[in-house]
Amino acid sequence: MIAVDAASGAACRGFGNNGQVDITVGMGAVVAGDVSISAPPAIVRGVIVTGHQVRSAQRQEAASGVIQGFDVITGKLRWAWDMQQPDRAGAPPLGQAYTRGTPTLLTTPTADDALGLVYVPLGSAAPGQGNGLHDAARQRHANALVAIDVTTGKPAWSFQPVHNDGADDDLRAQLTLVDYPTPAGKVPAILLPTRQGDLYVLDRRSGAPLVAAEAGGALRARLHSLRRATLTERDMWGITPIDQLACRIQFRLAQQDGASTPPGNGHASIQYPGHNGGWDWGGVAVDPRRGVIVANYNDMPDYAAGGEGLLASLHPINPADGWRLPLTRLPCRQPPYGGIRAIDLRTGATLWDRPFGRARGLAPFGLRAGLPVEIGVPNQGGAVITASGLVFIAATTDDLLRAIDLETGRELWRAELPAGGQATPMVHAHQGRHYLVVMAGGDHRLQTPKGDYLLAYALPDKSER
């Protein structure tokens, strides 16, 4: 971590070691490239809380997923939460290391300064897939949302939506703090979206569920779900009969047990929803005044070829690349591949739902044909909602930034980006004028154009209308 003066960009020499803190201290041997901070830290009550990404799918004894809290002024380590050493408050003694292979924090932690809690959604334990390799201590907090007391570095509560994970169902969507309406009044709550397509609402003070199953019924945690029936052979699609035949052969030979299907061990398997969700990195956006959640999502399976023979030769690709035809590189599943939905915050009811994104970036053989058809495409990155009821979002593989009417879901405006806009936009006001800013950098998984652009759009003032 690096601290710089916001006005000049100069290093803050009093922070850590001449302005820098090395988070790998205490981790023991770390292979180059194995540990990386993949999301911004949170700052709460003067403590910087950070996790990191570890290439956990590579081997069981990967680097530790320890969560650390540093003093925001000095950079000194305040505490370290090593989940398999719960009685240890700080760094390990000389000659020892934080426990290896523990679950990691891949996304941005979310903090409540009033409560003094920071919320960390964790991924799976190393090696990521194959729960038979995980011990009970690692599994306790794997794929769990953990609330940590920033004063002590100790867990206050934990909620685990995925148990005994064998399909690498990391929690990596950003979280949202809301005041949730209940019959007894508004309760401080947290929204947890998952890659399995479930949206949970928890009391952020205790982790208790807040959603009533029915009037007077028991409370449950899940507010909404994207889950649909499992795939069928009818869902297999192709631009030619040969493509469709190839997809249907693959489908018949593959194991399919829904969202928790583990990768095949000597056989092919289908995981649905796939590796990119459901909901993924972008999380959801909330309009607290209108009580509406806006959530873009993916609706694609993953296919893992296993073993030898016809199936592997038809589709020998990485499961993270999606499930595509071997020649044309088009998805086997019929569209839409992604959508955007408005959800009632109080009841979880769908207010509107539609395919999200044009086919501009999809064409046979990996080409980008520029087709203007709104089919619903893979997307990555969240939305932002303004007080006036506008939803601004990029995210899609068609490289477009959009403004959407919150009430109807109708697209009102769009602009073409110079690279993939797989990021959540920002809005701000300056001297009475409103601005929209988005990062266009591309995404290797979605194969959108790469770039290093930060673009700003100004809403017209009264004289320009």
Task: Give the C-alpha separation, 222 to 433, whole Å.
Answer: 39
pLDDT of residue 459: 82
- 19 backbone dihedrals φ, ψ, rounded to 5°: 100, 0
Contacting residues for 166 by C-beta, under 8 A, at least 6 apart: 129, 130, 131, 132, 260, 262
Domains in the chain, CATH or no CATH each: 1-163 (2.40.10.480)
pTM of structure: 0.89
Beta-bridge partners for 168: none
Structure tokens at 420: 């993939």
Task: Give the C-alpha separation, 188 to 185, whole Å.
Answer: 10
pLDDT of residue 404: 98
Averaged over successive runs of 10 residues, the pLDDT of the chain (465 residues) comes to: 96 96 95 90 97 76 92 98 91 93 92 97 74 62 94 96 70 93 92 92 96 68 86 83 84 78 71 82 94 94 61 35 59 88 95 93 60 85 95 96 97 96 94 94 90 93 62
Cis (ω within 30 of 0) for the bond into 316? no
Q: CB 411: neighbour CB atoms within 10 A?
A: 16
Which residue numbers are catalytic?
A: 168
* 250, 233 Cβ separation under 8 angstroms: no
Residue 277 DSSP code: B
pLDDT of residue 313: 35
* 1, 37 Cβ separation under 8 angstroms: yes
